[in-house]
């Protein structure tokens, strides 16, 4: 029997979710909801979804879905996640940014725990084929023990025409692409012991930061650089590709533009093509993102069947959120941060400020 789902928020990015669910055997969307009725109706008509709602509470009470896919922007995440958990959904998916504050994130994690729901955050970058291949080679020991990493996302692509709210957002790039990169750096290099960050506001049409550079020290002793910019010319444009470099005591892995993965070892250089396939509903150059959404949704199906645990869970994503908040604080105050886990579990994280050695 198919898992029954509903989707909340029929805006720009929801098209990827809607296409993905439609193509996934084993799951079906039975209803969509948007406070803008026209958007909900258009999505239902385009993707063949039987019912339309403008009130998520009414939809959840009537549909009693197995899973809820929340694709709204961050201000509505906490009330919608809490609502979905109370409604008895087995799996609740929340788009990033999970939350804007640690308190909101912890409240959502608590709501899921109280309801026995699995909360999974839509961090699709770690589900991109190129990054899965990179992780596979790292875990396989092909470069030995890593001591340096760099994750990078730099572009001049006009994201503002389809997501105009981004240009108005006071906290922009770290909460947009930065969260994905912080999730990746934790996923590849482990937890972070110290972080500093500098931000820049370069494009005059943008209110918040559209460039940031962060330097991290991991608990393993490794260091990493995470940097992103929406004001970087590159020809040809490589949006939406993430580039990466990881150096270890036995070699170096590089993820280069054009989905080329390079392995440098004392024996020489090997290059692999790790370009994702284009989903039947997708097109280049968006296939890297589209393929990752499809892979993420297959993973959600595995969670629903009891075959997998959320990657990443809400609990895990609190630590990524903590890095983003620490990055903003570091950029504002000019000092670095040591994350200090508190309490018995990994959920509660605060930051103490420590002056960096300058
Ligand atoms: N993972 C990725 O790669 C990726 C890429 C782009 C956007 N996103 C994220 O996806 C989310 C949505 O972004 P978007 O660009 O599609 O935004 P959008 O503004 O185009 O769409 C959001 C939709 O949610 C609706 N909505 C808001 N509150 C609601 C509520 N309480 N109930 C029902 N509907 C409600 C709005 O009317 C709107 O149609 C954001 O959190 C964004 O960061 C993720």
Q: Which residues pair with 149 in a beta bridge?
A: 224, 246
**Could you identify the residue written with the tokens 């996934």?**
24
How does pLDDT run across 274-305, given as a tens digit for each residue?
A: 999 999 999 999 999 999 999 999 999 999 99
Which parts of the chain sit beneath pLDDT 50? 340-358
| Domain count for the chain | 2
Pocket of ligand 1 (CB under 6 A): 8-14, 33-36, 39, 56, 71-74, 76, 80, 95-96, 122, 124, 163, 165, 289
Residue 157 and residue 172 in one domain? yes
Q: Domain of 185: which CATH number? A: 3.30.360.10
In a domain, 234, yes or no: yes
Note the pLDDT of residue 338. 73
Do 196 and 215 touch, CB atoms closer than 8 A? yes
Residues 115 and 134 in one domain: no
Assigned domain for 348 exists:
no
Q: Are 135 and 129 in contact (CB under 8 A)?
A: no
Residues 142 and 271 placed together within one structural domain of the fold: yes
Compute, in angstroms, the gap from residue 139 CA to the centroid of ligand 1: 34
Q: Does residue 94 fall inside a structural domain?
A: yes
Asked if residue 265 and residue 138 are part of one domain, the reply reads yes
Say if 114 falls within a structural domain.
yes
Query: Does one domain contain both 99 and 164?
Result: no
Map residue 29 onto helix, strand or coil. Answer: strand
Cα-to-centroid distance, 202 and ligand 1 (Å): 25
Closest CA to 243 of 294, 322, 330, 184: 184
Domain of 179 in residue numbering reads as 126-275
**Cα(172)–Cα(168) distance, integer angstroms:** 8
Kindly state whether residues 91 and 140 are assigned to the same domain.
no
64 vs 126: CA distance, rounded Å: 30
Task: Quote the radius of gyration of the chain (alpha carbons, Å).
Answer: 20
Q: Is residue 349 part of a domain?
A: no
Please name the residue whose Cα sits nearest to atom 4 of ligand 1: 13
Nearest to 7 by CA among 25, 28, 26: 28
Asked if residue 263 lies in contact with residue 270, where contact means CB atoms within 8 angstroms, the answer is yes
Domain containing residue 77: CATH number: 3.40.50.720
Query: Has residue 106 been placed in a domain?
Result: yes
Q: Which of 20, 34, 282, 299 to mutate to test the pocket of ligand 1 (most atoms within 8 A of CB)?
A: 34
Are residues 136 and 245 both part of a single domain? Answer: yes
**Shared-domain flag, residues 143 and 105:** no
**Within this chain, do residues 133 and 262 fall inside the same structural domain, yes or no?**
yes
> 192-211 pLDDT, tens per residue?
999 999 999 999 999 999 99
Asked if 49 and 38 count as a contact pair (C-beta separation under 8 A), the reply is no
* Same domain as 267, residue 140: yes
Same domain for 255 and 130: yes
Question: What are the tokens at 25?
Answer: 């055997």
Q: What is residue 339's predicted lDDT score, i.e. its pLDDT? A: 62
Q: How many CB atoms lie within 10 A of CB 116?
A: 9
What angle do the packed helices 179-189 and 129-139 form, to 10 degrees?
A: 20
How far is the CA of 4 from the CAs of 56, 115, 301, 304, in angstroms? 16, 18, 11, 10
Length of the chain: 358
Give a yes or no: residue 286 inside a domain.
no
Looking at the fold, whether 104 and 135 belong to one and the same domain comes out as no
Q: Is residue 284 situated within a structural domain?
A: no
In ligand 1, the atom with minimum distance to the C-alpha of 9 is 24
């Amino acid at each position: 029997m198919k898992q029954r789902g509903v989707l909340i928020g029929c805006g720009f990015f929801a098209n990827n979710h809607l296409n993905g669910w439609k193509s996934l055997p084993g799951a079906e969307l039975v209803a969509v909801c948007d406070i803008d009725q026209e958007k909900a109706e258009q999505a239902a008509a385009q993707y063949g979804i039987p019912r339309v709602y403008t009130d998520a509470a009414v939809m959840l009470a009537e549909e009693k879905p197995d899973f809820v896919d929340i694709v709204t922007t961050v201000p509505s995440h906490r009330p919608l996640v809490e609502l979905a958990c109370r409604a008895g959904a087995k799996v609740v998916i929340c788009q990033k940014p999970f939350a804007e504050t640690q308190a909101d994130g912890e409240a959502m994690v608590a709501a899921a725990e109280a309801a026995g729901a699995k909360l999974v955050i839509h961090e699709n970058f770690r589900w991109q084929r190129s990054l899965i291949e990179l992780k596979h080679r790292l875990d396989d020991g092909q470069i030995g023990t890593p001591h340096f990493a760099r994750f990078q996302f730099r572009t001049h692509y006009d994201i503002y025409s389809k997501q105009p709210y981004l240009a108005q957002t006071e906290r922009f790039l770290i909460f947009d692409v930065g969260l994905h990169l912080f999730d990746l750096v934790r996923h590849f290099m482990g937890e972070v012991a110290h972080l500093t960050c500098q931000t820049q506001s370069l494009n005059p049409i943008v209110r918040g930061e559209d460039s940031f550079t962060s330097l991290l020290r991991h608990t393993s002793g490794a260091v990493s650089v995470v940097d992103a910019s929406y004001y970087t010319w590159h020809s040809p444009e490589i949006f939406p590709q993430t580039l990466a470099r990881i150096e270890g005591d036995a070699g170096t892995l590089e993820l280069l533009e054009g989905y080329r993965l390079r392995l440098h070892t004392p024996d020489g250089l090997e290059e692999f093509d790790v370009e994702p396939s284009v989903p039947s509903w997708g097109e280049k150059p968006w296939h890297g993102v589209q393929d990752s959404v499809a892979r993420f949704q297959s993973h959600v199906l595995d969670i629903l069947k009891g075959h997998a645990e959320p990657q990443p869970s809400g609990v895990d994503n609190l630590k990524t959120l903590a890095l983003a908040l620490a990055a903003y604080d570091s950029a504002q105050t000019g000092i670095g941060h040591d994350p200090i886990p508190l309490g018995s579990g990994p959920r509660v994280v605060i930051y103490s400020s420590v002056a960096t050695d300058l």
